[in-house]
Copies of this chain bind each other. A is one copy, B any other.
Amino acid sequence: MRVAFIGLGRMGSGMARNLLRAGHQVDVFNRSAEKAEALASEGARIAGSPADACRDCHAAITMLADDAAVESVVFGSRGVASTLEQDAVHISSSTISTALARRLDVEHLKRGQRYLSAPVFGRPEAAESKKLIVVAAGPDETVERCDALFDAIGRQTFVAGREPWQANAVKLCGNFMIAAMLEAFGEAFATLRKGAIDPHLFLNVMNTLFASPVYANYGRIVADREFEPAGFALKLGLKDARLVLAAAEECESPMPLASLIHDHLLAGMAQGQAEMDWSSVAKVVARNSGLEG
């Protein structure tokens, strides 16, 4: 397939590379050109704008930081929507709001274009090594048409429903599950530290109990208090907390734990942790216990 790929950040670069490896023709666009050039040597064609990249493609994948970036890349002048062909599909893999997913669906439909949400779980290493989890949603036929692309970037694809925003809801709830674990680790470690109990002892017990790589990875970061460099920045975690609360509000479903997490991440922002890993929510919790964060 001929694919446009917009957004070559730490996640997008790996995804685009795996599309190339799978034999697809990939036209890339990135705001800063260097990242695009790195991919050119692997066979990607560099486009001068999102519109250029999308001309004549079967599918356009966007992998961008937030709602504002997606809106600008899609609806801005020389944006995706301006050249995407009839029946071609825009696949948004960014972690965006359910509201924007609904708007993208409506706007593309108006133009005779198709739209899918297909956010992914996994860190940059997973993107690079084709180990992402893909959660797609949209009309059955459109999802099927893109199966080969999902197979190229991830190890497994789940279909969340026929309405694209449903995939975003699943992604946001999944990130909420991770954030809940971070908050819980933060509180447990703070209490145990005040009780002069070795955090690594507790981490070992939790690793035996949960036997989960996610617990092992984040638990180690919190136990060691190594919040830099960030795997996923706190400011992005705050954005996701805001988005899951917005989705919950649309569904009229209160999520008090999501509110608690949001408030602690916001306290992290106020205390200068925007660029630290989002697991540094544990610093906020520790300071409330009178500990050095």
Contact = CB atoms under 8 A, between A and B. Distances in A.
Interface in A195-213: 195-198, 201-202, 204-206, 208-213
A100 interface: no
A141 to B, nearest CB: 19
A270 B254 contact: yes
Contacts of A17: none
A129 interface: no
Interface stretch (A45-53, A108-116, A167-175): A167-175
B201 A289 contact: no
Contacts of A264: 254
A272 to B, nearest CB: 7
B205 A158 contact: yes
A205 B252 contact: no
Contacts of A248: 187, 191, 266
A181 interface: yes
Contact of A195 (B169, B185, B188, B266): B169
Contacts of A255: 187, 190-191, 263
A22 interface: no
Interface in A15-47: none
Interface string A140-183: 00000000000000001011110001100110011011101101
A170 B211 contact: no
Interface of A: 121, 133, 135, 156, 158-161, 165-166, 169-170, 173-174, 176-178, 180-181, 183-185, 187-188, 190-192, 194-198, 201-202, 204-206, 208-215, 242, 244, 247-249, 251-260, 262-264, 266-267, 269-272, 284, 287-290
